Each structure stands twice: as C-alpha cells, then as structure tokens.
Amino acid sequence: MGAEHPLCRDELRELALAVGFHEVRSTRVRATPHGEALDRWLARGDHANLHWIPRGRDVRLDPRVRHPWARTAVVLGVHHHHRVPDDPGGRTGRVARYAWGR
C-alpha cells in the first residue's frame, strides 16, 4: 500500500513550496534509536494527562509497525517568525507568534 501516483522528490518539494510550506525534508523510516529515553519519560509520567501517548508507544518507536510499506517520511515546516501586527488602542490580547501568520 503506497502512493497511487508517486511523486519524485523534486516534484514533491515544488508542490509543498507552492502551497506555502517553507521547509521540505525527508528521512528514511526506521526505528528510533531513542526508545529507552521514551520508556523512561513515560515511566516518570512526564506525559501528564496525555493518556494517548503511551497507547501509541510501539508506533512511536518504529512507524513501520503501523505502516510496514513506508520507506520515506516527508517533514514539512512553516516559519513562524512573523511581525506582530499593529494594535491601535492596545485591545489585542497576547497571541502566539505562529498565529500571526496566514
């Protein structure tokens, strides 16, 4: 089960940039070398009330558990360093910088 119409890396990059992403990277899908760190983090309860995180442990350690056909992961990024808009009258509350973008 893969893409019905696979794109080459350059086509995918061009498409992602055209729709507004600033960063387009890819990496091989493999097991994380940091599994023990995740297990310690979970054992300490650092995930707090995010109870869904431990349920996905096996997939977090190796995405091929859920998607054995996957070979490459594409990671897209958007820059969030936006100029804060003018606020005549000081009526706007605090808004996270990423939310000032489009």
3-state helix, strand, coil in the chain (%, to 5): 35, 10, 55
As a residue count, the chain comes to 102
At 3 the pLDDT is 58
Model confidence, pTM: 0.64
What residues contact 15, with CB distance under 8 A and at least 6 apart? 7
At 7 the pLDDT is 77
On average, the pLDDT of the chain sits at: 88
Whether residue 9 is predicted with pLDDT greater than 60 in this model: the reply is yes
Whether residue 98 is predicted with pLDDT greater than 80 in this model: the reply is no
Whether residue 101 is predicted with pLDDT greater than 60 in this model: the reply is yes
